[in-house]
Structures are given as structure tokens and as C-alpha cells.
Structure 1
Amino acid sequence: MSEHVVVALGPVDADTVTPVLGDRVTFVTDPAPADLAVAEGAIVRADRRVDEDFLRRTPRLRVIARTGVGVDLVDVAAASARGIPVVITPNAGSRAVAEGVFAMALHLTKRLRPLTELVRDGRWAERGAVPIGDLDGAVLGIVGYGRIGRRVGELAAAFGMRSLAYDPFSPPPPEFACADLGELAESSDVLTLHAPLTEGTRHLVNERLLARVKPGAVLINCGRGGLLDSDATLAALESGRLSGVGLDVFDPEPALHHPLFDHPDVVLTPHLMGMTRRAMTLTFVDAARGVEDVLAGRRPAAVANPDWNHRKVTA
């Protein structure tokens, strides 16, 4: 007989999470108010909001597990006040996002869109007019040297690139570190963004920084949409300062159309680079494991409110 109820907020693969949660848990994929009233755990997709209203409707809740690392839509403070850990799954999608960075870098550096159009339109004789770049020997500038940033650096080495990194919160190792973001921009052939979005990092890539970017650089954002100023980015493309832009994240989401989207040297994906088949399976497993840990009285591997277990639980 089940001892616990765990609910899903958003689409969660029951076949993946149920074996991890175990026989003592009833997992509800489409919870009604009655299910929320008795739920002790919730597995929450990134686009679902967890606020004080939701917490009032889940008086028995003991753990929230977010698929991914962003907690923009989770009231972490309110959860902490209730003594509820907010589990995150930082490892599951790191490798998938890093691969997405290189998918975009290759697409833009190798000019796949204009070359496809040349062949499709029968303009073979014009192929010499499309300059093709190289990753081998190029410099990759990594903004934010966490799990994803480090993995991007590992892949860069396989392509023969030299990595430099800047992190506004935690300095990278000396062999990669740039103390100044502008210096990183001046040195990088490909600039990739992986910093968290805070008041201090909003529009980190702005007109002032783009004026220092190495001419012809490629800019990729698989981090957070608010890290770059779209108007300034479009201006840098139109001036030739940037040769290409790849965006997987937007501000807001779902994305509102911006003229940047229409530029031929821009590639867009709808915040899916971390949601490959394998990454989603790993994310669900890690989220379910975090819920199971808390219900069993163990500390989960990663939480967004690391001091949660030191707080007094309130009614």
C-alpha cells in the first residue's frame, strides 16, 4: 500500500519516475485539488509556477523537485519558510546543452544556411562567395564557468580550440581565466553565454561590450535570455561586428518576435538544447531521486535553498 503521494506539474514521464520513486509512492501525473491536498512531493517542469498560492493548496508538501536548474518561477523563499527543499537537477542536461552550443557554432561558422540555399537554388558557381570559417585554432570565450561552461571547454579542446573563460561569481582556473569580460570579448572567435541571470548579469552583453567584440565573432546564448540586449545584438550583426548569433533562450519565453530573428545569420531554437531524449530521461530520474531522498529522510544531491534543513518548519 502506498504511503506517499507525489504529483507532477507539467508533463512528466511516469514510466521513468515511478520505478525511482518506488512502491511506497503513488505518482499522479494530472493532479486534482484532492491530490494536491495530500501531496508530499512535486516534480515540476521549468515552465510551471510554484508560488505561495500553490503552497497553500499543498499543506503536506515536503519536497519540490525542479527539472533543470532555473528556479525563476519557484518562490524559493516561501518554500524555505515552510522547510521545503527545492531540488534541482544540474547534471542531467549539461552535456546536451554543451552539444547544442557546438551545433550552433558549427552551423554558423560553416555557413550551412547560405550553402544549403546555393545548392537548392542551383547557384553552385557562387559557392566561392560564401566564406567558411574554422573552429580548429579558434578561441572560445566562455562566460560562466559552471558545469555547462566546463563541459563546453572540454568539447572545445576536441575541436582544437583554445578556451578562455570569465565568471562573475567564481573565477575559473588560472590557465583559462580572463579577469575582465571585455578582454574575453576582444579575444574570442566564438563567445558563449552560461552565466546565471541576476540583476548584475542582465544585459551583460550590451552595446558597450559588443563594441569590444572581436570582428566577425559568433555569439551563442544557451544560458538565459536576459543575458543579452537583443537590439544591441542586431546592430552588431548588421554592422558586421558579429558574423552570426545562435539563441536557444529568450526573454520572455515563449519568445516574442524581434527583428533579430529575421537576420539570415541567426539560428534559433525554442529552449530545447537541454531537452534531448537522453537528457530528459536523466532529468526525470534525478528529480525523482531527489524526491525519494527527502521522503526517506536523506539530503538530496542538489538543492536551490541549501540551508533549508536548518530552518524551522512552519505550519
Structure 2
Amino acid sequence: MSEHLVVALGPVDADTVCPVLGEHATLVTDPTPEDLTVAEGAIVRADRRVDEDFLRQAPRLRVIARTGVGVDLVDVAAASARGIPVVITPHSGTRAVAEGVFAMALHLVKRLKPLTELVRDGRWAERSAVPVGDLDGATLGIVGYGRIGRRVGELAAAFGMRTLAYDPFSPPPPEFASADLDELVESSDVVTLHAPLTEGTRHLVDERLLARVRPGAILINCGRGGLLDPDATLAAMESGRLSGVGLDVFDPEPALHHPLFDHPDVVLTPHLMGMTRRAMTLTFRDAARGVADVLAGREPPAVANPDWKNYRKATA
């Protein structure tokens, strides 16, 4: 008989999770209130809320594993106060998101949408009127040089791009570093956002910054929706300051319609670039491994609240 009950909050791939949890744990994919009262672990999808009310319903909970890195809907402080680690899976989607950046960049630089329409509509003779650009020889500006930002830089090198990066928290190597954001956007043909969303970074890309962007630049946001001001971004598109925008993230989510969405040189995806088939398998595996570690008395490799151990010791 299994020793531990683990509940899934949101769709979880049991075929991936159960072998990692092992024979001493049972996964319940559609938990009842009774299941919550005895659950020791929870694997939580990004759109599910874990607050104090949920924690009261799960008095035996020992670990929360979030599939991904964002913990906006998890009351991390409340979990810490109960000595519960909030496991995150920072490595599973890194490569997928970085590929998503280049999917959007190529779509916009190579003008795939208008060129598709030309062929579809039988307007072949008009093809010279659509300017097609290059990534080779262009400059990529990376805002936020963490795991994903670094991977984006690696792919940029393969495309023959020059890379600039800005991150006040994790300074890039000197050969890539920009002194500030103004310098970065003034010098970049493509700007991609990978900074965390904090009070200090909300609407980081605003009217003032966009006025300094290199004319005709492309802006891509696969980081957090709140990093850019959509009104200012639309104005920059309409003025021609920006020639294209790619958005995978929005504020709020699910996205509420904004006139920016209707611009022909905007490409949109529903916060899915880090959720490829391979990335989702990896994130479920890593989340399950974090749960299994805690239930076995081991320290999980990545948590959003490293202070959880202090609270657990205090209540032991």
C-alpha cells in the first residue's frame, strides 16, 4: 500500500509523474475534499491558485511542486510559514522558450504573414513591395540574462547575430553587457524580454523607452506580460518606431483583447512557448522528482522559497 498521497491541481500527465513518484506514492488527478485532508504532496499547474484557504484544506501537506517557475498564484509566504517548500522546475522549458523567441523573430523579420497572403491571393507581382529582413548581422538585445536569456544568446550566435544584454541582477559577461536599457534598445534590431516581473520592472518598456528604440526594431516578450505597456507599444507600432511585436505573455491572463492585437505586424501565442511536448514532459518529471525528494526526506533541487527550512526547523 502507498505511504503518501499526492494530488494534482490541474491536468497532470500521470504516465510521466507516477514512475518518478515511485511505488510509495499514489497520484490523485481529480482530488476530492477528502483527498486534500490527507494529501502530503501537490503538483500544481500554473493557472491554479494555492492560497491560505487551500493550505487549511490540506493540513498534512509537506510539498508543493509548481510546473514552471512562476509562483504568482501561490502564496509562497504562507507555504513557508508552514515549512512547505514550493518546488519549481526552472530548467524544463528553457530551450523551448528560447526557440519560441526565434520563431517569432523569424516570422516577423521574414514577413511570413504578408508573403503568405501574397501567394494565397495571387499577387505574386507585388512581392518586391514586402521588405524581407535578416537575422544574420543584426543585433539582438536581451533584457534579463538568466537561464532563458543565456540560451537565447547561444541561439543568436548560431544565426550570426551580435548580442547585447542587460540585467542588473545577473550581470552578463563584459563582451555582451550594455551599460543600461537605453543603450541596449538604441543599438538593437530585435529586443527580447526575459526579466522577472516586479514592482520595479512593471511597464519596463514604456513610452519613454520606446522613444529610444532603433527605428524599425522588433520587440518580443516571452517573459511576463506586465513588462511592457501595451498602449505605448501600439503607439510605437503605429508610428513605425517598431516594425513588429511578438507576444507570448499577457497581463492579465487569459489575455483581454487590446487594439495592439489587431495590428497586422503583431504575432500572438497564448503563453505556450514553454509548453512544447518535450518541455511539458520534462516539467512534469522535474515536479514529480521534487515531490519525491521531499517525501523521502531529501532536499529538492529548486524552490521558490529557500527559507522554508527555517520555518520547518522552528516548528519541528
TM-score normalised per structure 1: 0.99
Per-residue deviation, residues 48-84 of structure 1 (Å, max 9, x unmatched):
0000000000000000000000000000000000000
Report whether the alignment pairs 1:281 with 2:281. Answer: yes
Query: Equivalent pairs: percent with the same residue?
Result: 88
Deviation at 1:172, TM superposition (A): 1.0
The answer to whether the 8 Å contact 1:203/1:228 transfers is yes
Letter in 1 for 2:188: S
Deviation at 1:170, TM superposition (A): 1.7
Q: Give the aligned partner of residue 83 of structure 1.
A: 83
The SS at the match of 1:311 is helix
Structure 1 residues not aligned, in runs of 5+ = none
The SS at the match of 1:122 is coil
The answer to whether the 8 Å contact 1:247/1:267 transfers is yes
Q: Give the aligned partner of residue 229 of structure 1.
A: 229
Report whether the alignment pairs 1:122 with 2:122. Answer: yes
Report whether the alignment pairs 1:136 with 2:136. Answer: yes
Q: Give the aligned partner of residue 111 of structure 1.
A: 111
Deviation at 1:116, TM superposition (A): 0.3
Q: Give the aligned partner of residue 212 of structure 1.
A: 212
Distance 2:251 2:38 in 1: 35
Q: Give the aligned partner of residue 162 of structure 1.
A: 162
The SS at the match of 2:119 is helix
Letter in 2 for 1:99: E
The answer to whether the 8 Å contact 1:7/1:29 transfers is yes
Deviation at 1:264, TM superposition (A): 0.2
The SS at the match of 1:270 is coil
The SS at the match of 2:279 is helix
Distance 1:282 1:164 in 2: 30
Report whether the alignment pairs 1:93 with 2:93. Answer: yes
Letter in 1 for 2:198: T
**1:264-279 equivalences in 2 (<5 Å):** 264-279=264-279
Letter in 1 for 2:77: A
Distance 1:71 1:179 in 2: 30
Q: Give the aligned partner of residue 200 of structure 2.
A: 200
Q: Give the aligned partner of residue 25 of structure 2.
A: 25
Letter in 2 for 1:108: L
The answer to whether the 8 Å contact 1:202/1:227 transfers is yes
Deviation at 1:202, TM superposition (A): 0.2
Report whether the alignment pairs 1:184 with 2:189. Answer: no
Deviation at 1:307, TM superposition (A): 1.8
Letter in 2 for 1:37: T
Distance 1:179 1:34 in 2: 55
Report whether the alignment pairs 1:300 with 2:300. Answer: yes
Letter in 2 for 1:96: A
Letter in 2 for 1:118: L
Per-residue deviation, residues 98-141 of structure 1 (Å, max 9, x unmatched):
00000000000000000000000000000000000000000000
Deviation at 1:175, TM superposition (A): 1.0
Letter in 1 for 2:178: C
Letter in 2 for 1:180: D
Distance 2:168 2:49 in 1: 28
Distance 2:188 2:195 in 1: 17
The SS at the match of 1:271 is coil
The answer to whether the 8 Å contact 1:81/1:314 transfers is no
Q: Give the aligned partner of residue 36 of structure 2.
A: 36
The SS at the match of 1:267 is strand
Deviation at 1:179, TM superposition (A): 2.0
Q: Give the aligned partner of residue 151 of structure 2.
A: 151
Report whether the alignment pairs 1:249 with 2:245. Answer: no
Letter in 2 for 1:195: A
The answer to whether the 8 Å contact 1:88/1:287 transfers is yes
Structure 2 residues not aligned, in runs of 5+ = none
Letter in 2 for 1:20: V
Distance 2:142 2:39 in 1: 41
The SS at the match of 1:163 is strand
The SS at the match of 2:96 is helix
Alignment RMSD: 0.8
Letter in 1 for 2:164: L
- Once superposed, which parts of structure 1, at least 4 consecutive aligned residues long, lie more than 6 Å away? none
Deviation at 1:168, TM superposition (A): 2.8
The answer to whether the 8 Å contact 1:2/1:26 transfers is yes
Distance 2:43 2:168 in 1: 31
Distance 1:168 1:208 in 2: 19
The answer to whether the 8 Å contact 1:43/1:287 transfers is yes
Deviation at 1:314, TM superposition (A): 4.7
Distance 1:19 1:270 in 2: 30
